[in-house]
Amino acid sequence: MMEINEELLHGCYAVQTYRTSDPRGVFSKPFSRQGNHRFEQFACAEFFYTTSGRDVVRGMHLQLGTALLDKFVFCMHGSVLDVLVDLREGPTFGQVASLNLTADVPVGIFIPRGVAHGFLSQSEHSMIGYLTSHVHVPALDAGVHWRSIAFDWPVQAPVISSRDEALPPIATFRPILPADTRTV
């Protein structure tokens, strides 16, 4: 059963998930719709994961238009500093939240439509799993430059993709309309 630990941003939740271990190893259930009404309508359309080395920064990403999606992210290996920025129109636009995620602590983050996501890998090898409510549409990828949000990234020599370096600053991002951001 999943239990909400805290609301990080409006509609973004840190979620306690199930994990147990014995001498054989670990059994983990990072996501279940059952038992929490907030997630009963979340239908996973796609699962993917990323691997990263230390000091890799990925973000800040989201999908637009008909590909707006809800995400549930969790750390499968290593540790990351997960960062969120609200890009929905209204008084919460630009608000930022962060949470450390590690493979050893069974916590994930539910991220609603209109909130961009990124992270800093804090271990030599990290793996983040993503459940998404819509299939990824590359033509509808969007985001804002990771350094343009109100967040002090704790990294001296970040490893960044050219795609992420080319994202526009948050100051030029057109907010996502509330009607487009219905969440579960």
Catalytic-labelled residue, pool 10, 61, 77, 136? 61
Q: Check whether 1 has a pLDDT greater than 70.
A: no
Conformational region of residue 179, where left means phi above 0, alpha means psi within -120 to 50, and beta covers everything else? alpha
pLDDT in tens, 62-98: 999 999 999 999 999 999 999 999 999 999 999 999 9
Joined tokens for residue 135: 């299939």
pLDDT in tens, 3-43: 778 899 999 999 988 888 899 988 888 877 766 666 767 88
Phi–psi pair at 131, nearest 5 degrees: -105, 130
Q: State residue 180's pLDDT score.
A: 61
Catalytic-labelled residue, pool 13, 130, 134, 145? 130
Please give the model's pTM, rounded to 2 decimal places: 0.91
- CATH code at 3-176: 2.60.120.10
Q: How confident is the model at residue 184 (pLDDT cuts 50, 70, 90)?
A: very low
Give CA angle at 13 (9, 14), nearest 5°.
120
**Per-domain boundaries in the chain:** 3-176
61 is catalytic: yes
pLDDT in tens, 125-171: 999 999 999 999 999 999 999 999 999 999 999 999 999 999 999 99
136 is catalytic: no
Contact 11, 88 (CB under 8 A): no
